[in-house]
């Protein structure tokens, strides 16, 4: 049984690994990402701003079930990040952190994943998402790339997965229950294709290309 559970843990890496390949493969868009753009003045200088909001759409059969929403990004150079606790964090291996966890999934949920519009008194961003710059292209170039893709997905913890965890507990397993629940949620997302690419950032590097 622990072999089965650990297999689910390893599967969590495939969300971002598959996304890397998706840089060149079109995907059906169930989830989405919207971009607002504008500018404001600081003295006589025009400053561009962007606000990016990811939108997760939950299938009717999954509404009300326990689960989690994931937002991930990967560059064309293989650098991976996940959006967790309202900011982007690097990812290399292990458990993919969820963007938000629900006891009962809603029909839809939105997350602001980039915001350079709203600034405080001293010109600092009110919402620090961990990406620098005024636009997503600025953020991409700061990461050393001109291309990256963002994906959104969700998964549920169904009754069979919960029963497997309970059986493992009943025989005295020392596995981290919260970690394993998250692994099953991620596995549901991957196996049942509950994720898709929502946005591709493709920017010209400074100096050409």
**pLDDT for 86-145, tens place per residue?**
999 998 877 778 999 999 999 999 999 999 998 777 767 777 888 888 999 999 888 888
Residue 37 has pLDDT above 60, yes or no: yes
Which pLDDT band, with edges at 50, 70 and 90, does 4 fall under? very low
pLDDT value at 47 more than 70: yes
Does residue 3 have a pLDDT over 60? no
pTM to 2 decimal places: 0.82
Measured CA to CA, the distance from residue 21 to residue 30 in angstroms comes to: 19
Asked if 26 contacts 19 with a C-beta cutoff of 8 angstroms, the reply is: no
Average pLDDT across the chain, whole number = 82
**Beta-bridge mates of residue 32:** 55
**Angstrom distance (rounded) from CA 87 to CA 129:** 4
Q: Is the pLDDT of residue 70 over 80?
A: yes
Cα distance between residue 114 and residue 83, in whole Å? 10
DSSP state of 61: G
Tell me the β-bridge partners of 119.
Answer: 125
The residue with greater pLDDT, 120 or 21, is 120
């Amino acid at each position: 049984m622990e072999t089965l559970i650990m297999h689910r843990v390893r599967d969590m890496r495939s969300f971002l690994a598959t996304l890397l390949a998706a840089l060149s493969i079109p995907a059906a868009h169930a989830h989405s990402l919207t971009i607002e753009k504008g500018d404001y003045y600081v003295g006589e200088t025009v400053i561009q701003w962007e606000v990016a909001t990811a939108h997760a759409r939950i299938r009717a059969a999954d509404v009300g079930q326990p689960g989690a929403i994931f937002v991930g990004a990967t560059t064309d150079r293989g650098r991976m990040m996940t959006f967790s606790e309202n900011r982007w964090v690097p990812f290399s291996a292990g458990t993919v952190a969820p963007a938000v966890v629900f006891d009962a999934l809603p029909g839809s949920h939105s997350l602001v994943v980039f915001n350079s519009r709203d600034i405080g008194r001293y010109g600092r961003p009110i919402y620090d998402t961990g990406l620098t710059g005024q636009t997503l292209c600025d953020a991409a170039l700061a990461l050393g790339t001109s291309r990256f893709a963002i994906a959104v997905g969700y998964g549920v913890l169904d009754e069979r997965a919960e029963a497997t965890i309970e059986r493992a507990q009943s025989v005295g397993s020392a596995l981290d229950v919260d970690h394993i629940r998250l692994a099953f949620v991620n596995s549901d997302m991957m196996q049942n294709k509950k994720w898709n690419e929502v946005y591709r950032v493709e920017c010209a590097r400074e100096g050409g290309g």
